[in-house]
């Protein structure tokens, strides 16, 4: 009688290493699939977060000197309404005093009470060298959420309270602004690096 052999061919081990059986091979394949699936999920999560990360950085206050807020008022001379920020150039009334009713003025809709009041208390008249300041405003979608459903127009008169650019320059980042009819529009998306300091009593 011929001996009975296993139907699987017997292969001699190579280089002194054991040949993996079917079960071990299947387990290894399953592990590889699990690792690849996990890597795919992690990559998808990272891609989903990428649009938000630059946006948060882009809208931060790190480029502004948030220790001192300034009150400015004047006439709009240029408007660019769009993403990532709206921009308005303002011909400022140099040395315009903070309004007498400033402390009683209500904050715009949607305002953060703590940061809004801290900005109001810190606001002092702008007496800098520039005749015009470039105001960097929020994106149009956020403007709409805060009640601004139209573009500002050249020739309009507005008031604003905000912070100058770090290191000088003609930029001002408003925390809020008001139109001639009295409508206030909030502008703050992200946290300040630190709360602004109160203005000296004589500055107002």
The structural domains of the chain, with segments of one domain joined by +, span 3-49, 70-203
Q: Whole-angstrom Cα distance, residue 88 to residue 76? A: 7
The pTM of the full predicted model, rounded to 2 decimals, is 0.72
Q: Write down the H helix ranges in the chain.
A: 22-49, 52-58, 113-122, 140-145
Residue 177 φ then ψ, to 5°? -145, 160
Beta strands in the chain (DSSP E): 70-80, 87-92, 124-125, 132-136, 157-164, 171-179, 184-186
Class of domain 70-203: mainly beta
Burial readout 80-104 (b: 16 or more C-beta within 10 A, e: otherwise): ebeeebbebbbebeeeeebeeeeee
Q: Whole-angstrom Cα distance, residue 183 to residue 40? A: 49
Instruction: Print pLDDT tens along the chain (204 aa).
Output: 444 434 444 444 444 444 445 555 555 555 655 544 554 444 444 334 434 334 444 467 998 999 999 999 999 999 999 999 999 999 999 889 999 999 999 999 999 999 999 999 999 999 999 999 999 999 999 999 999 999 999 999 999 999 999 988 999 999 999 999 999 999 999 999 989 999 998 776
Q: Whole-angstrom Cα distance, residue 185 to residue 107? A: 9
The answer to whether the CB of 91 falls within 8 A of the CB of 79 is: no
Dihedral of the alpha carbons of 72, 78, 82, 87, in degrees to the nearest 10:
-30
For residue 76, what pLDDT is reported?
98
């Amino acid at each position: 009688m011929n001996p009975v052999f296993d139907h699987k061919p017997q292969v001699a081990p190579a280089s002194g290493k054991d040949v993996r059986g079917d079960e071990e091979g299947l387990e290894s394949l399953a592990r590889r699939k699990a690792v690849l699936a996990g890597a795919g999920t992690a990559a998808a999560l990272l891609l989903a977060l990428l649009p938000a990360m630059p946006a948060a950085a882009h809208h931060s206050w790190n480029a502004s000197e948030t220790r001192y807020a300034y009150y400015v008022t004047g006439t709009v001379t240029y408007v660019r309404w769009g993403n990532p920020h709206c921009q308005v150039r303002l011909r400022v009334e140099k040395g315009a005093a903070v309004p007498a009713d400033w402390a009683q003025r209500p904050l715009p809709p949607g305002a953060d009470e703590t940061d809004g009041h801290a900005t109001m208390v810190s606001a002092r008249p702008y007496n800098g060298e520039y005749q015009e300041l470039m105001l960097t405003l929020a994106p149009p979608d956020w403007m709409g959420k805060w009640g601004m459903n139209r573009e500002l127009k050249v020739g309009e008169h507005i008031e604003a309270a905000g912070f100058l650019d770090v290191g000088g320059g003609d930029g001002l980042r408003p925390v809020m602004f008001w139109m001639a009819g009295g409508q206030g529009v909030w502008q703050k998306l992200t946290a300040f690096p630190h709360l602004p300091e109160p203005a000296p009593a004589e500055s107002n």
